[in-house]
Structure 1
């Protein structure tokens, strides 16, 4: 199979606007973006317009597919296990309408890649050169060509994520310890950590009951074989993390205390447990950080080479002295982002 690339066509944005009007006619108020190579002026591309539609739950097709079908679209791809991703084809123009859930990390990934290429000529030319070289080969499937581009895409995205990080915003400490020199002591993975998590999980579920939307063991202690500080990180999803009255008093009664709030960063809350040492991270549903944390954990569990890369970084950084433990965590950002990007594919 040959891949046919076309020089950038100034008519592509017009094709997107026509599809946008059609989609919004079927789904008023929908979140829709032009993504992919045809969305980047000056970039060569297959003459296929990629659109990204964000809905609450792609698996609930009844909430959006019938309306799109009435407008002439049809579902051609369903990937339930990969971000609930759907692809629809349009009635006339050659397009891919990609559907992702609200809060999916793929949404920011697509937009960041697009915007970075629009603003950075060097990486735009690097990507174009890779596309041209790969398009000159013969492929069994278009997906094989897409997969072959992954190395240069990850290279570009890593630069974009580091240059344009999500700023967490102001941290409001409820219980604050003064900054101090904080040696970071890593331990070899201990199977007892999974048992500690199981005890905490039972405690949290007993305290909150049906208010628990999701509960997961995350962080390094959740990855067998990975050295870590003996700190159990727990991800708790509640209906509304900003509504502290709905969950904080019950968790305090269960032995936790509220450490901090990050109102501007996903309304994130952290509660602490002291025996064992626990960080309980609280978010609302549909938050990108949930997707990222779980993708990172699952990638480290499944790919030994990524686990080893992360552990090497942790050990090197743990050998230094830090003013705050958070500074150690921040120093790991680049390798964490790199692994998350691989996980998101």
Structure 2
């Protein structure tokens, strides 16, 4: 199979605009973006217009598919186990309409890659030259060509994520002073950590009942074989993390205390437990950080090479002197982002 690339065509934005009008007529107010190589001026591409549609729940096809079918689209791909992704084909133009849920990390990934290539000529040319070299080879499947580009895509995305981080914003400490100087002490993985988490999960579910949308063991103690600080990180999803009255009093009664609020960063809350040492991270549903945290954990569980690389990084950094524990956490950012990007790919 040959991959046919075309030089950038100034007509491509017009084709996107035509599809945008068609989609918005079917779904007024929809969140829609032009993504993929045809969205980057000056970049060679397969002449295929990629659109990204963000909906509340891609699994609820009745909320958007019939309207799109009436406009001439048809569902071509369903990937329930990969971000609930759907692909619809356009009626009269070579179009892939990608559907993702609100809060999915893939949404920012696509937009950041597009915007980075638009603004960075060096990486745009690197990507173009890679595509041309790979397109010159024969491929059994188009997906094999796509997979072969992945190393360069990840290289570019890593630069983009590190240059354009999501700033957490101001942290409001409720019951403790801000992080202070403390040694970083790592321990070899302890099977007891899973039992500690199970006890905390039972306590949380008993306290909150139906307020629990999801609860997960995350962080390094959730990954068998990985060295960690003996601190149990728990991800708790509630209907509205900003509505503290709906969950904080019950958790306080269960032995936790509210430590901090980050109102401008996903309305994140952290509650502390002390026996064992617990950080309980509270988010609302459809939040990008949920996707990232779970993707990172699952990648480390399933890929020993990433787990070993992350542990080497942690041990090397833990051997240094840090003014704050948070500085140690920040120093891991590069390797963490690289692993998350591989997980999301």
- Distance in 1 between the 2:337 and 2:179 partners? 26
Which 4+ residue blocks in structure 1 deviate beyond 4 angstroms?
none
Q: CA RMSD in A?
A: 0.6
Describe the SS at the equivalent of 2:67. Answer: helix
Is structure 2 residue 301 aligned with structure 1 residue 295?
A: no
Q: CA deviation at 1:73?
A: 0.1
Q: CA deviation at 1:179?
A: 4.7
Is structure 2 residue 278 aligned with structure 1 residue 282?
A: no
In the other structure, the counterpart of 1:95 is 95
Q: CA deviation at 1:249?
A: 0.3
For residues 238-257 of structure 1, the C-alpha deviation after alignment (integer angstroms, 9 at most, x for no partner) is 00000000000000000000
In the other structure, the counterpart of 2:83 is 83
In the other structure, the counterpart of 1:173 is 173
For residues 69-95 of structure 1, the C-alpha deviation after alignment (integer angstroms, 9 at most, x for no partner) is 000000000101000000000100001
* Change in CA separation of 1:216 and 1:179 when aligned onto 2, cut-off 3 Å: closer
Unmatched segments (≥5 aa) in structure 2: none
Which residues of 2 match residues 80-159 of structure 1 at below 5 A? Answer: 80-159=80-159
Q: TM-score, normalised by structure 2?
A: 0.99
Q: CA deviation at 1:178?
A: 5.4
For residues 94-141 of structure 1, the C-alpha deviation after alignment (integer angstroms, 9 at most, x for no partner) is 010000000100000000000000000000000000000000001111
- Distance in 2 between the 1:336 and 1:88 partners? 33
- Distance in 2 between the 1:25 and 1:149 partners? 35
Contact 2:179 2:326 (8 Å CA) reproduced: no
Q: CA deviation at 1:323?
A: 1.6
In the other structure, the counterpart of 2:208 is 208
Contact 2:38 2:49 (8 Å CA) reproduced: yes
Describe the SS at the equivalent of 1:32. Answer: strand
Unmatched segments (≥5 aa) in structure 1: none
In the other structure, the counterpart of 2:39 is 39
Describe the SS at the equivalent of 1:226. Answer: coil
Contact 1:231 1:278 (8 Å CA) reproduced: yes
Q: CA deviation at 1:177?
A: 3.0
- Distance in 1 between the 2:44 and 2:69 partners? 31
For residues 188-235 of structure 1, the C-alpha deviation after alignment (integer angstroms, 9 at most, x for no partner) is 000000000000000000000000000000000000000000000000
In the other structure, the counterpart of 1:14 is 14
Q: How many aligned positions are there?
A: 345
